[in-house]
Amino acid sequence: MFRIINDAAKAYDGAIPADRYHQPYMPEEGLREEMGRMTFYSWDDGGLVGVMGLEPVKDVSLIRHAYVSTARQKQGVGSKLLEYTKGIYAGNRLLVGTWADALWAVDFYKKHGFRLCPDKDNLLRTYWSVPERQIATSVVLELIK
């Protein structure tokens, strides 16, 4: 998972604020910590090629760490993982946060039935633990039921 996340996150280089981008994007220690709070789903096609986490927080479910290896992007892996996740979440609100300038990610979620939330600052402060700088440069999308 560490390899998949950090490979796919290279797409953020130059697309998100330079002060928020670093390599590895997700250090192993941070990933291990987050694995204790969420359930990860993966796509294996002769080897791990995609991951997506689902984290229950208060009264919502958050999609976290949705990444597909660069060699397997645009081949339906992310769509399959997202459709699976949509089918199993608890039925409450399903939210995903991403960088506002990661237009490919925003478009991906919109294509799969999500809409941008106008109250994204409040949502990010309520359900995520991210710095104000990230709140200022992020968006939140919600699955339309």
pLDDT tens, residue by residue, 30-72? 999 999 999 999 999 899 999 999 999 999 999 999 999 999 9
Domain ranges of the chain: 2-143
pLDDT of amino acid 91: 81
**Would the pTM of this model clear 0.75, i.e. be above it?**
yes
Give per-residue pLDDT as tens, 69-103: 999 999 999 999 999 999 998 788 999 999 999 99
Give per-residue pLDDT as tens, 89-140: 878 899 999 999 999 999 999 999 999 999 999 999 999 999 999 999 999 9
Residues near 40 by Cβ (< 8 Å), separated by ≥ 6? 1, 51, 52, 53, 54, 65
Q: Quick check: helix, strand or coil at residue 90?
A: coil
Yes or no: say if 63 and 52 are a contact pair by the CB < 8 Å rule: yes
Does the domain at 2-143 match CATH 3.40.630.30? Answer given as: yes
